[in-house]
Structure formats: structure tokens, C-alpha cells
Amino acid sequence: MTRSHARKRPVLLTAYAVLFLLFLYVPILLVPAFSFNDGTIVAFPLQGFTTRWYGELSRSPELLAALRHSLVVGACVSVLATGLGTLGAWVVTRYPLPGKAPVTGFIMLPIVAPLVVLAGALFLLVQTVGVGLSLYTVGLGHLIVCLPFAFQVMRSRLESFDDSVLKASRDLGEGRVATFLRVVLPISAPGIISSLLLTFTLSFDEFVLSFFLSSTEVTLPVYIWSQLRFPGRLPVVLALGSLILLASFVLVVLGEVLRRWRTDD
Amino acid sequence: MTDTRKESHMAADPDSGISIRGISKSFDGTRVLRDIDLEVGRGEFFSLLGPSGCGKSTLLNILGGLETPDSGSIRIGDRDVTHLPAEKRPTNMVFQSYAMFPHLSVAKNVAYGLRRKRLGRRERDEKVERMLSLVHLDGLGDRNPSELSGGQRQRVALARALVMEPAVLLLDESLAALDRRLREAMQIELRELQREVGITFVFVTHDQDEAMSMSDRIAVMGGGRILQIGRPTELYHAPASREVAEFIGSINLIEVTPCAGGRLEAPGLGAFDCDSAAGEGGLLALRPECFGIAREAPAAGNRLEGRVREVTFLGDRSYLRVNVEGLEDPLIASCSFREAEGLSRDDRVWLTWSAEDGRLIPSDR
Amino acid sequence: MSPLLVVMVIGVGAPCLLLLVMSFWQQESYDMAAGWGLGNYVKFFQTPFYQVLVLRSIGVALSVCALTVLMAYPVAYFVAFHVTRYRSLWLVLLTVPFWTSYLLRIFAWKVVLGYNGVINSGLVSLGVIDEPLSVLLYNPLAVTITLTHAWMPFVVLPIYVSLAKIPTELLASASDLGDGPVRRFLRVILPLSIPGVASGAMLVFIPTVGDYVAPMLVGGTSGSMIGTVIAAQFGAADNWPMGSAMSVISMLAVSLTAIAMQFGIMQVRSRAR
């Protein structure tokens, strides 16, 4: 009905789009495929099915420590980024501000900045201030890259409902606090959860900043990076990678669905 | 000085539903409302009518407490509500966009404001039920607002405001988003609803037909001022100014000057009798339906000769546009289909009208 | 707003300023004394290797841009104009890879392209080739392919958004005024989707120039880029001022190229007749 000019089914275009999806997904899906391969060399033909690489995961204390660090940093960063992003998005969507465009441009900067440069600059700052590298500095780095995403998610969420709803709430007898709790929070809840999920995933998967800003306590991607040097560890890395992909996939699909929840996207 | 004026107004109408005094409001240095005075009677269906940007919605928002006036005061009943915030006022609003809470069901939307009233669950549910049935939405309480049609959302918005039992219901262009047929049905329904609940309605609209068909009285607004207040018939038949005359219905305006015998003269067109003339000139205002159509020159009375430019058939009646030499715009006459039958372009006709139908209004704007 | 801005100023503004300042500091080495000066910049322009790296990085990034736009455009077009029922599903499918681990997405290509990798072992076991090909990995092409794959979602979405905004009536009226599908595409759809192409290209170009992971994993020596050297200056080489200067230079080069690229893309739009 909409787009009615597309009368014929475009066979070629459909085929291309499907191939495109294969191009996007097949390389990624090779990681879990080989994680079940019963051989230390990652090559065809597959040698047989095994889950022993997954079993080895639980026997590496360093890995478990890295996992713990990633979870803690991810949790803190996602909460902080979402809180700050929501606040910022609220102000930007509700109040006329002078210089709104340059300010939001500045907030979005980390999305387009080359990560190495950003990481180097943060590294310099941390070293100059003299606080020393730790999980806190990793967290700061992650916060910086997560904020634009949280801000963006919350901004599009908050833009999707109009002010008259807030006026209606006041008109029906509720003050500011009650209006926030009964109207703003429930309407933006899907956005908040989506932002939490997405920023957590972003932080959990982030490598370059963690690599620059961590010391002995490393996060999971930095741990994986260190393991890539040892060919013998490759299958274990693949198993770990598969689990991470699975976790990211679940969180992100959930986050994306919530982000589009009841908005006319 | 202002004080004495206020005093006198109060004395004049002590039983007023709403009493607005000297309200002014500016946004970023632009004056949106200039010194508005207005009395609305208890139980009245009152409309604020005007083109967009005339300040009518701002005035409504000020009444509802959603905007604060720069100066002036508002009383509802015997209470000064000027400084009461929206949530504490005895007013409720039906918003133009309906402002449905998208995360709540229809019933929960209606019950939204009742939380503050500390009712029992049973009592609250009953009130909601009753209200939904009043607006003919029985059984739709569990729906999501997004599943409703525009007309249905409109009714939910009405129910949500009325369930609060406000002293005054404020309606902001509430029918504008509906299609014509539905809008006309809602006009009648709204009027009946108002009679049923018996509270004051203040209705903002830019649609003169809507205002005329529903209101007890109308305030025509323009440029942040009230141009005229009156019953629909008064506004139609006795517009106080050119602006009001042109805003409500179509009208023919002929510039005239006074001449001998209390008559009015239009240069080059002749002299006319007009009952409302009192020795000064201005604009002679003639509604299209005042005219009679004659194919031969009438013996006496007000008349103008012209040639038919266009005949428009509108079903219940026909419109004639007649070019009159000496007038810039063609005159518009409305007549029955029969009167216009057989007339075609360039036919010679005479437009006639009686002295009581013409209305003299000041020509300065 | 203000807390967010404070964090951003501390986390982005201050470090970048520091980077700029640091780039004018000269670290003590055998031919240079400690102190302020342009020494790092002089050294950069005296070292052809660095310049090659910057040029190669920009070259790779531009290729990635071109490839992503060319490959993503038809898909964005398909979703915008031909998908009606499952549009959200398509959009989620196109977005999800972007959020999954960047490191693993790059690493996956090492598995695909490696000497014992998927392509080689697959071709050998099929009998197409006898010996694994070594040309697949450790060159700029490998980096380009890997980055193209990694950044694809960044381009699909902006192009999709700009295409989806085109009102159907506009296309209908173009047809009505006598344009066939091809001319309609060139005269209406393409010009109107240019902003999406431009922002997508920008989102890819700038981060790709400074990429670290791909050159390290699949680039080898012939595929190394400026990002790897900058990282080394802050790490193993331990010459922060040099790293800062290189960062500043590459940011300048990136900005200039980006502006030129924007200009070029916008030309497509203004040329429309």
C-alpha cells in the first residue's frame, strides 16, 4: 500500500540483499562454527564435534578475572552513561538552548573520532593527572564512547512523545515529581532499558580504549588480545568469542527491539 | 485608575463563572495578549474564535494555568486563581492533539487524575465506567489509545477531563483534527454533553461555523485583542468592525458617505436607505442572503445594477457573483436555485435589499 | 545537560587539548634536547615512512568508504522501497553486527583469510588449488576487506533513513512527468539520498583512518597503518610527544580529506538536473 510504485518483485535486488546479509553474518558465524571443531588448527575440513574448548574456559582463572572486570565496568558504565545521557537528552529535547547544534555535535564527537587518537589523548590525561591506570580509567574511557550512544537513544525516545502529555498530567492534578514518575518514566522506560543494554554491550566489547587505559587488571577483549599470540589457545579463544557473540547478540536484539518499541520508526 | 475599573466590573457581574481582567502576555517581546477583559457566565458554552496566532490558545492556556500571564487576574466563581498552578485549578483541558498517555489503557487514561481524589478502587472504576458510557465508549476501557480512531481518542480526552468534575472545561481546537462529517456529528454531541453536565465550556476554534453552531456566546479575537463579544446572531448580523464582519461568513462591503435625508451615498452608484446609519459614513455591510435578484429595474428601494460574472450551484442554494461598475470586487449574492435559474454570464441583473438588512460599520480598521 | 557536558569536556575536550600541547614537547633523544618546539613535526616530515603510513591509511579508509557505500546502497534502497512487512526485522538484522564485538569481527577475517584459514583450506579440500594462497592475508587489501565488513552497518542505516524519508508522491510525480525508473533514480532518489550517503561515509572514514585492530591482525607489515604506529608511540616506543604530534597530523589530514570528500559528494547532488 505505501510505496505502491514497487509493483514488480525485484528478484535481483532481493537476491543481492540476501547475499549482503550472508556477507555480514557468515564471517562472524564462523567463530562459533570452529569453536566446536575437534582440532587445534582452524581449517576445513572440520575434524569432529567437541565441547572441550568450552570446558577449558572455566579452568582459566585469568579469564574469569577478566570476565569479572568486564562485567563490573560494563554495569557501572552503562548505568552512568544512561543516567547522564537521559539527563542531557531531556534538556535538549525540552528546552530551547542557544548553541544546541554545536553542543550536541560535541557530544557525538567520540562516535566519529579515531579511537586510537582518543585513547592516546585519554592516556596522556590520566598520566598527566597522575592517577595511574586502573579499571577506573578503563571505565572513564568506556563512559566517553558510550555517552553519545546513550544520548542518541534517549533523545529519539524523548522526542517521540509531545509536550501536551506533560501538560495534560499537570492539568489533571499531578505536580512535577508525580508527572515524572507516572508519565515520563514509563514512556521512556523502553529507551532507558535499551540504552542500558546497548551501552553495556559497547563497553563489554570495547577493546582499543581498554588496551590503552588498563594496567594489570584487564577486561575480556584485552585478555583475548593477549591470547591471540598463542596459536595453541586459538580454539579456546574461539569458544570464548562465541559466548561473547551470543551474549552480545541477545542483549542487542533485545535493545534494538525496545528502542523501536511503540515509536513510529 | 485600573483598580476602580476592576471594581466596577466586579460589581456589574458578581455571579460570573469566569472573570478575566486585564490579562496581558508576551513571548520573547512579542505581545500575544493585550489587556484582555472577559466575563463568562456559569454553565455557558463560550467560544474564543479567531485566526491562528490571534492569542486564543494562549488565553486558554492561561485559564488552565499552563501559562502564567504577565499581568492581570483571573477569578473562577469567587476564587482568585491567577497564581494557582494547573494541577490545583478547577479547570480541565481537552488538548488539540488529545495528549493521550500512550503507555496507559483507555480506562487508565480516564482514571489518571482520580488518583489524587483518594477514592476507593470500586468507586473509581465506577466513575470511569460512567464517564466512558457518557462519551459512548462503553467496553473500550482496556484498549490502547493507539488502537482508537481520532474521534474515539477525542472522546477519551473528553472523558478524562470531565471525570475530574471541573468547574470549567477548556477545549483547544478539539475538533480540528477530525474529518468534516465526524466533526459535525461531534459538534452536536459536544453541545448535548455540555447541557447534560451543565458546566462552563470554553472552546477555542478558528472555524467560525463550529463556533456559530455550538456557542452561547463568542469572543472574536484578532491581534491579541478581543474584537467583539456577542451571541452568534449578533456577531453575524451586527458586526462591530470590518475585521469581525470579514471573519464571520462572507460579506459585501461598500464604502459610503452620508448625504441628504439620512441616506448613504456611494460615489457613482447612487444613494441608499439604511436603518442603522446615524449620520456618519463608513462601510455598508451586506450579507449575501440580503439581496433579492431582479431581472428588470425595480421601481424603488435600494438597488445596484450589474452583470452576472459567475453562477455557482451549491445544491440548497446558488451563489451569484455580480460585477458592478464602480466597485472593485464583484458582489456576492445568495439565492434559491429557482431565482438563479436561467441566469448566465453577462446577463444584466439588479440586486435589491431592504433598509433594515444593510449594516453600517466604521471603515477604519 | 550540564553533568553530561562536564564529563564530555573532561573526557574529550581536556585530553585533546593536552594532546595538542604535548605534540610541541620534545622528548630527549640522541639528536634532540628536551623542550618546546616543532621537532616532532619536523621529524614526521623528514621520515618518508610516516608519510607513507598516513597516505596508506587515508587510501584504505577511502576505499573502505567507497566499498561500503556501493555495497550498502542497494540494500538500503531495497529495505526502504521494497520491504514493507518485515522492515523492522531487516533493520535489526542490519544493525546487530555493528554492536557485536569489534575485535571478534576483525578476528573472524583472520580465520577466513589466513594461510590455514577458511578460504584456503576450503579451496584446497575442494581441489581448486594445491597449496594455500599466502596473498590473502597481511596486505592492505585484507585490511580493506576486513574494515569494509566491520563498518558496513554504519553506512546502511544513514542511507536507509534518507531514502525512507522520500515521500512516495515525489516518486509518483517523477514518473508522472515522464521519467523512467533509471532517470527517476538519477534525478530524484539519488540526489535526495546524498545527505545519508555523506553522513554514512563520514561515520566510516574518520574512525577507519586511525584503526588499530585490523592492521594489527590482518595487515602485516605491508598493511600497517598510522594507528598502529601512534599506538606504539604511546606504548612500546614510549615517545608520547611524537605520538601526540602524529595524532594531530593525522587528524588534520583526516579533516581535510573529509571536507574534500563531503564537497565531492555534495557535487553529485547539485549536479542533479
Domain ranges of chain B: 3-237, 250-361
Report pLDDT for B3.
Answer: 40
pLDDT higher than 80, residue C72? yes
CA dist C270 and C224 (Å) reads: 37
Rounded Cα gap, residues C93 and C157, in angstroms: 11
Span A40-260: which CATH code?
A: 1.10.3720.10
Chain B 141-180, residues with CB within 8 Å of chain A CB atoms: 146, 160-161, 164
| pLDDT score of A4 more than 60 | no
For residues C269 and C194, the answer to whether their CB atoms sit within 8 Å is yes
User: Mind telling me how many Å the CA of C102 is from chain A's nearest CA?
Assistant: 7
The residue in chain B having the minimum alpha-carbon distance to the alpha carbon of residue A261 is B103
- Rounded distance, CA C193 to CA A142, Å? 33
Q: What does DSSP say about strands B91-94 and B270-272: parallel, antiparallel, or unpaired? A: unpaired
Asked whether residue A11 carries a pLDDT value surpassing 60, the answer given is: yes
- Is the Cβ pair A116, C212 closer than 8 Å? yes
ipTM confidence: 0.85
Q: Measure CB to CB from residue A161 to each of B87, B91, B102 and give the nearest one.
A: B102
How distant is the Cα of C61 from the closest Cα of chain A, in angstroms? 12
Q: Residue B280: count other Cβ atoms within 10 Å of its Cβ.
A: 12
User: What is the DSSP code string of C37-74?
Assistant: SSHHHHHHHH-HHHHHHHHHHHHHHHHHHHHHHHHHHH
The minimum CA-CA distance between A165 and chain C, rounded to whole Å, is: 22
CA of B103: which chain A residue's CA is closest? A187
The nearest alpha carbon in chain B to A164 belongs to B99
Asked if B102 is an interface residue toward chain A (Cβ–Cβ < 8 A), one would say: yes
Is residue C191 reached through a cis peptide bond, with omega within 30 degrees of 0 on the bond before it? Answer: no
Q: Residue A5: pLDDT above 50?
A: no
Our answer on whether C and B touch (3+ beta-carbon pairs < 8 Å) is no
C254 contacts chain A (CB < 8 A)? yes
Q: What are the angstrom distances between the C-alpha of A123 and each of A88, A113, A119, B298?
A: 26, 15, 6, 100
Optimal mutation site among B57, B60, B68, B87, interface A, most CBs of chain A within 10 A: B87
**Pairing of β B168-172 and β B91-94:** parallel
Using a CB-CB cut-off of 8 Å, the residues of chain B touching A174 are 87, 112-113, 115-116
Q: Are B326 and B270 a contacting pair, CB within 8 Å?
A: no
Question: What is the number of CB-based contacts under 8 A between chain A and chain B?
Answer: 66
User: How confident is the model at residue B146, as a pLDDT?
Assistant: 86
For range C174-200, the mean pLDDT: 84
All three cell numbers of B250, joined, read: 462572507
Chain A positions contacting chain B at CB under 8 Å are 161-162, 164-165, 167-175, 182-183, 186-187, 262
Cα-Cα-Cα-Cα dihedral sign, residues A184, A190, A191, A196 = positive
Structural domains present in chain C:
43-272 (1.10.3720.10)
pLDDT for position A16: 94
Q: Where are the domains of chain A?
A: 40-260
Q: What mean pLDDT do residues C145-149 have?
A: 93
Give CA separation, B308 vs B216, B299, B358, in Å. Answer: 38, 21, 22
Is residue C241 scored above 50 in pLDDT? Answer: yes
pLDDT tens per residue, chain B (365 residues)? 334 333 333 333 344 489 999 999 998 888 999 999 999 999 999 999 999 889 999 999 999 998 899 999 999 988 899 998 888 889 999 998 888 888 889 999 999 988 888 888 899 999 999 999 988 898 898 998 888 988 899 899 999 999 988 999 999 988 887 888 888 888 888 898 898 888 999 999 999 889 999 999 999 999 899 999 999 999 998 888 888 988 888 899 888 888 877 788 887 788 888 887 777 778 888 999 889 888 888 888 888 889 999 888 888 888 999 998 888 889 999 988 888 888 888 889 999 998 888 888 887 64
For A202, name the nearest residue in chain C, comparing CA atoms only.
C99
**CA of C53 vs chain A CAs: smallest distance (Å):** 15
- So what's the pLDDT on residue B13? 39
Per-residue confidence (pLDDT) for residue C272, from 0 to 100: 67
Per-residue CA distances from A180 to A185, A189, A263 (Å): 6, 12, 19
CB B164 within 8 A of CB B91: no
User: Which top CATH class is B250-361?
Assistant: mainly beta
Residue to test with chain C: of A93, A109, A117, A215, most C Cβ within 10 A:
A117
Mean pLDDT of A40-48: 75
Pairing of strands B318-323, B359-361: unpaired
Q: Nearest CA of chain B to the CA of A169: how many Å?
A: 8
Which whole number is the average pLDDT over C34-48?
82
Task: Using the predicted structure, report yes or no on whether residue C122 has a pLDDT greater than 90.
Answer: no
Interchain contact C240–A (C-beta under 8 A): yes
Q: What is the pLDDT of residue C69?
A: 94
| Residues listed for chain C | 273
Distances (CA, A) of C34 to B16, C30, C39, C249: 86, 10, 10, 21
Answer yes or no: do A252 and C96 touch at CB < 8 A: yes
End-to-end CA distance of chain A: 17
Q: Which CATH number fits domain B3-237: 3.65.10.10, 1.10.357.10, 3.40.50.300, 3.30.465.10?
A: 3.40.50.300
Tens digits of per-residue pLDDT, A240-265? 888 888 888 888 888 877 777 655 43
- B36-52: b (≥16 Cβ within 10 Å) or e: bebbbeeebbbbbbbee
From B97, which residue of chain A is nearest by alpha-carbon distance?
A: A164
